[in-house]
Amino acid sequence: MGKRFELIVFDWDGTLMDSTGAIVASIKAAARDLGIPPPSDERASHIIGLGLIDALRHALPDLPTERYHDLAERYRHHYLSRDQDLLLFDGAVELIDELARAGYRLAVATGKSRKGLDRAFEVSGLGPRFHASRCADECQSKPHPQMLEELMAEFGVEPDATLMIGDTTHDLLMARNAGVAALGVAYGAHPRETLEAESPLYCAVDVAQLAAWLRQQG
């Protein structure tokens, strides 16, 4: 692999872990628990990557403010009942291992809470492979650049040596706001045409294609 970048930052849900379907189903089930019409699959998947409360406000904008806490609790109930069954995308472990051997600094920037990411790290076994991470309950939610700014500061890496990889426009806009290059992955929450409208360096249709681009251009 080349060394165009020093720090590579991954989103988690829909980028490394195949969790989009579980998130959408959990949002809809939580809405039904509260007796409110659930959002469409498209609307529910569009908010993946945001912090939980921000995501729920976007998915169900007409809900009274005081009910979002209850909605979040029901979402957590449904998601946690299935997260042990979630799997990493094929090739994700091999890609992370290859990048680590090549000497890249690796990090995660996610809309998950710290508790949620730590659980995902433990379940997947990927946690020790990352040098740092930032979560939505520690920083401002995407697309604010704080997560990337803090990660770059932690490692002393400049924006032109940093790459963000994610499956949503929230990831790509966060990268743009931080002055960082970005790759889209079209196998997660947002469709390829939506990602390409934000002009990432590349948009991969699977992990194998992502790995190939990184070997040639990273």
pTM of the shown model? 0.89
Residue 163 and residue 117 share a domain: yes
Average pLDDT over residues 92-112: 96
Identify the CA nearest to 185 among candidates 173, 196, 197. Answer: 196
Which residues form the catalytic set?
11, 13
Q: Does residue 1 lie in a domain region? A: no
Q: Does residue 2 lie in a domain region? A: no
- Residues 194-216 have pLDDT tens digits of 999 999 999 999 999 999 999 99
Chain length of the chain: 218
Q: Give the angle subtended at the CA of 119 by the CAs of 115 and 124, to the nearest 5°.
A: 150
- In sequence order, the 6+-apart residues with CB closer than 8 A to the CB of 217 are 2, 4, 201, 202
CA distance between the termini of the chain: 7
Residue 112 and residue 47 share a domain: no
